[in-house]
Amino acid sequence: MTNNSELGVALIGTGFMGRLHSLAYSVLPSFFPELPRVRRRVVADLSEDLAKRGAHRFGYDEWAVGWEEVVRREDIDIVDIATPNHLHRPIAELALRHGKHVLCEKPLALNAAEAREMSKCAHESKGVHMVSFNYRKCPAVLEAKRLIDEGLLGKIFHFRALYLQDWAIPEQTPFSWRFSAEESGSGALGDIGSHAIDYALYLVGGISSVVGLTKTFVGSRPIPGSPDPHLVNVDDCAVAMLQFENGAVGTLESSRFSYGRKNYLTFEISGSKGSLAFNWERSNELLFYSGLDRDDIQGIRTIITGPPHPFGEVLWPIPGLGTAFIETQVIQMESFVRAISEGRPVETNFAHGCRVQEVMEAILTSAHLNQWLPVQPVHGG
Ligand code: NAI
Ligand code: SOE
């Protein structure tokens, strides 16, 4: 693959993430002109209206109803999966078996059994495969990783993470695929907790065992235009304690029932030499404390990201100009397209997606059994 060749992408699903991914493809050349161009060839959705509107709004050459045909097309190199979770496996496996590169939204699958099969299929395929854990591509989080790898925190003792939202509190919030185990696999845990688990694995390391607690606060949701509410069979919140393979201990909370918290994804990591803290709602700041500072000047400092932090030179020329949701997606697309052009895997490949799924499965099963459970190891990848 030469950098001036073009990669044709087929986007499946024109909702919230379909828009973000398309925007990232469209601006990629202005940040990374050296990368192969991604041609927005075709978008598919459930209906002609949705697909046509998606093609028009997101700048695709063509539209299609249904995904089976477009996934097999010769002129498609990348299949981008931005659909509800129950469609991730069938679309990804068909695409991988047709030699396509696959970007799949998180969580990878409905459950660990599915994720293992998808990871095996990916391992046997020629394509580059990636699960979209975009929040780890936030420059402040990339900087946190750099400081941890440089040893500035020393030996890690604690990892604490929260991912809190409040959109599900009103009981009249309509039923959607996010409330159905058949379409989403789990609730708050898979939908937002998966991002916090990705942070745990990325910043601290493997998780050996967990104990979980889940709760559904509102048991049914109205369906617009229907007199009968629909059952909710997923968690509205999931809380867990984590044992890391390196001896660190962790706590993790994900909830859609936390008034005032809109997209409150945070972590705090404490080590033998210092600590770090991050809050997505202040995504351009990283809090750092060094226990090695002189007593009289010890304090938590706020690092404002920009140059010289990761991607600082590429994004905006001065610190504090800020990066947000779109920039994390652009940085994620950079790592995906660059891996394709260099013919190598990415960090958040399907095996990694499967590791996150194994942790979620252990938390859900542990909550059901009310006991600590080991996390199943993932081989390969
Ligand atoms: P959405 O509900 O806004 O959009 C889903 C789209 O898929 C809709 O346009 C729907 O019509 C389409 N679709 C449904 N069935 C289809 C089929 N059989 N064929 C073709 N299209 C079909 O959902 P949203 O929020 O965009 O979520 C999509 C995925 O992205 C989920 O896996 C979710 O977990 C993930 N997500 C990830 C985020 C992140 O920050 N990484 C943010 C939001 C969602
Ligand atoms: C849920 O509301 C949601 O859209 C998640 O699906 C995303 O993964 C997260 O980025 C934002 O919140």
- pLDDT tier for residue 156 given thresholds of 50, 70 and 90: very high
**What's the Rg (C-alpha) of the chain?**
21
**Tens of pLDDT along 160-187?**
999 999 999 999 999 999 999 999 999 9
The mean pLDDT value for 186-192 works out to 98
CA 193 – ligand 2 centroid, Å: 10
CA distances from 87 to 60, 190, 202, 306, 330 (A): 22, 15, 26, 37, 24
What is the distance between the alpha carbons of residues 316 and 207, in angstroms, rounded to a whole number? Answer: 36
What share of the chain has pLDDT > 70, as a percent? 98
CA 380 – ligand 2 centroid, Å: 29
Residue pair 128/363 in contact (Cβ under 8 Å)? The answer is no
Residue pair 330/316 in contact (Cβ under 8 Å)? The answer is no
**Tens of pLDDT along 66-108?**
999 999 999 999 999 999 999 999 999 999 999 999 999 999 9
Q: What is the pLDDT of residue 320?
A: 83
Q: How many residues does the chain have?
A: 381
- pLDDT tier for residue 19 given thresholds of 50, 70 and 90: very high
Which residue CA neighbors atom 14 of ligand 1 most closely? 83
Confirm or reject: Cβ of 194 under 6 Å from ligand 1. Answer: no
As beta bridge partners, residue 249 has 158, 243
Q: Which amino acid is at 347?
A: E
- pLDDT tier for residue 204 given thresholds of 50, 70 and 90: very high
CA distances from 344 to 93, 130, 303, 330 (A): 19, 12, 33, 19
Extract the tokens encoding 180.
């159905």
- pLDDT tier for residue 310 given thresholds of 50, 70 and 90: confident
Residue pair 92/121 in contact (Cβ under 8 Å)? The answer is yes
Pick left, alpha or beta for residue 92 (phi over 0 → left; psi -120 to 50 → alpha; otherwise beta): alpha
Closest approach atom of ligand 2 to CA 134: 10
CA distances from 339 to 139, 198, 220 (A): 19, 20, 44
pLDDT higher at 320 or 25:
25
Q: What is the pLDDT of residue 376?
A: 87
What is the distance between the alpha carbons of residues 116 and 121, in angstroms, rounded to a whole number? Answer: 9
Q: Which residues of 295-324 are buried (b: 16+ CB within 10 A; e: fewer)?
A: eeeeeeeebebbeebbbbeebeeebeeebe
For helices 350-369 and 112-123, the axis angle rounded to 10 degrees is: 160
**Tens of pLDDT along 25-57?**
999 999 999 999 999 999 999 999 999 999 999
SS3 of residue 212 by DSSP: strand
Mutation choice for ligand 1 from 12, 71, 91, 105, CB with most ligand atoms inside 8 A: 105
Confirm or reject: Cβ of 192 under 6 Å from ligand 2. Answer: yes
Q: What is the pLDDT of residue 311?
A: 84
Confirm or reject: Cβ of 191 under 6 Å from ligand 2. Answer: yes
- pLDDT tier for residue 378 given thresholds of 50, 70 and 90: confident
Which among 325, 294, 314, 318 is positioned nearest to 304, based on CA atoms? 318
Confidence check: pLDDT of 62 > 70 = yes
- pLDDT tier for residue 370 given thresholds of 50, 70 and 90: very high
Confidence check: pLDDT of 2 > 70 = no
The mean pLDDT value for 139-168 works out to 97
Residue pair 341/1 in contact (Cβ under 8 Å)? The answer is yes
Phi first, then psi, for residue 286 (nearest 5°) are: -125, 125
Confidence check: pLDDT of 201 > 70 = yes
- pLDDT tier for residue 380 given thresholds of 50, 70 and 90: low
Q: What is the mean pLDDT of the chain?
A: 96
Confidence check: pLDDT of 381 > 90 = no
The mean pLDDT value for 5-20 works out to 96
CA 192 – ligand 2 centroid, Å: 6
Q: What is the pLDDT of residue 3?
A: 52
- pLDDT tier for residue 5 given thresholds of 50, 70 and 90: confident
Closest approach atom of ligand 2 to CA 194: 8
SS3 of residue 5 by DSSP: coil
Beta-carbon contacts of 92 under 8 Å, excluding residues fewer than 6 positions away, are: 79, 81, 102, 104, 118, 121, 122, 129, 350
Closest approach atom of ligand 1 to CA 54: 9
Mutation choice for ligand 1 from 16, 69, 192, CB with most ligand atoms inside 8 A: 16
pLDDT higher at 254 or 377:
254
Confidence check: pLDDT of 216 > 90 = yes
Confirm or reject: Cβ of 67 under 6 Å from ligand 1. Answer: yes
Instruction: Mean pLDDT check: name the lowest of 55-59, 284-288, 322-326.
Output: 322-326
Mutation choice for ligand 2 from 16, 20, 138, 191, CB with most ligand atoms inside 8 A: 191
